[in-house]
Structure 1
């Protein structure tokens, strides 16, 4: 177990430990699939909605589409966040594109037919890692939406080819840390997000040197921590969905 930094991290955890994670299914009555993803004090409501039809550029392809939308509710942060009405924030658009790419990486769209599934990720409470919590919870919501399509005989085979989850990490006070909360993220020298699969595949790596740099050995250490965490998150996803059973 890695040594702790001073002051102690939230939830009294070691450098290579995640915050307590909870995935709760079926939290929205009208959604085709839903999941509340909780990483410590970060809470994201993820829903998946099935609609017949696809974007114009995919019509006639006999192939479906999975996309995402992301937003932070006004009281999700310590200062009220204005609703994105009319003009979307660049950050929100970047995050929802990341969520969409991550989900499509483990979905065979040819098995979906000409249906669109939109995964909405609404941040109820933000304390760091909202994009990674969104991806992890959205996979559960997507899984359940696809299950409902099978039950309604809208599709013949399950389009999911695997699981996808995500975790944040970084260099803070010259320490390599996993699953940054907001105080850590806001003071990070290097910030990194990892999206990966249950099989150990890497979907995407996002890394930025905010106040410093890391060397190749430190990057390898961060990726090792991140992939171990993603394996645990995928196990948790499987516990609530029985996808691999």
Structure 2
């Protein structure tokens, strides 16, 4: 079983934040001069895939991050609305929901805009529901009060794993939004009581691998999306076989691989958010 390995630079070096005091012209890349965290490179199958979060990437959203998983890039924003859906009115609880979309040329060939067609595809609806469910799993909705936070996930470039990148980056954007609301006095306590991240795993040419790219996903014998919290609890598992069934032992190997990948992602989320003491920590359930 392949296990992700840190290479090229030491983990201690990678845990240092790279401070960029940017000019106005460079601010769009560097997220307005905020801290940028470059996650370690994970090697597999002769390739390396860089994971990084560029927080505060846009100006107006309460929270935002550009999430890069290899060649997949997803811009995620979290926006506050001081009302809730009709089914929650008067209950004193908030809501976290998600929307997902892809730019027409995020893929190898241009796709039609769903807005131009006037209808979202079944795939889009499935993915945004998955993102919303995953994020709500770590939110105390009573502490959020009657507010809605919408997490928008816009895929700029797709090379596999867009939904898991959206979940992982979605948590970062949500946490940044909550931090801002607490600093402004909008919230009395932190409604986030954990972390959430997701990875894709699969069996490709007989080998279990982490974070399938587009080519691997299209030829994989088995592919699976796994979402977990920071305590190692499972939030969602979606797995299918193509061509032939997978065995229980193979399933366990894939889950072990996903757990290791998510463990590393959770560490990087915590570091970029400053949960190690640089900023307001993620709060426990109260």
1:205 aligns with 2:242: no
Number of the residue aligned with 2:111: 81
The Cα shift of 1:2 comes to 3.7
CA distance in 1, matches of 2:184, 2:270: 23
Does the 8 A contact of 1:18 with 1:229 survive in 2? no
Q: Aligned ranges for residues 4-153 of structure 1 at < 5 Å? A: 13-14=43-44, 19-85=49-115, 86-153=118-185
CA distance in 2, matches of 1:12, 1:221: 18
The Cα shift of 1:80 comes to 0.6
CA distance in 2, matches of 1:238, 1:24: 14
The Cα shift of 1:177 comes to 1.0
Q: 1:73-117: per-residue Cα shift (whole Å, max 9, x none)?
A: 011001111111221000010000000000000000000010000
CA distance in 2, matches of 1:150, 1:83: 36
Does the 8 A contact of 2:175 with 2:192 survive in 1? yes
What's the TM-score once normalised by structure 2's chain length? 0.80
What's the TM-score once normalised by structure 1's chain length? 0.93
> Using CA pairs below 8 Å that are at least 6 residues apart, which structure has the higher relative contact order?
1
The Cα shift of 1:12 comes to 8.7
Q: 1:30-64: per-residue Cα shift (whole Å, max 9, x none)?
A: 11000111000000000000010000010001100
1:217 aligns with 2:249: yes
For these two proteins, the number of residue pairs brought into alignment is: 238
SS of 1:203 mapped into structure 2: strand
CA distance in 2, matches of 1:210, 1:100: 27
SS of 2:119 mapped into structure 1: coil
1:68–1:127 Cα change, 3 Å = same
2:186 maps to which of 154, 158, 165: 154
Q: 1:115-146: per-residue Cα shift (whole Å, max 9, x none)?
A: 00000000000000000000000100000111
CA distance in 1, matches of 2:190, 2:48: 31
1:18–1:244 Cα change, 3 Å = farther
1:28–1:208 Cα change, 3 Å = same
CA distance in 1, matches of 2:64, 2:163: 16
Runs (5+) with no aligned partner, structure 2? 4-40, 278-286
Q: 1:182-222: per-residue Cα shift (whole Å, max 9, x none)?
A: 00001111110000011111100000112222111110010
SS of 1:23 mapped into structure 2: strand
Q: Provide the alpha-carbon RMSD of the alignment.
A: 1.8
Number of the residue aligned with 2:29: none
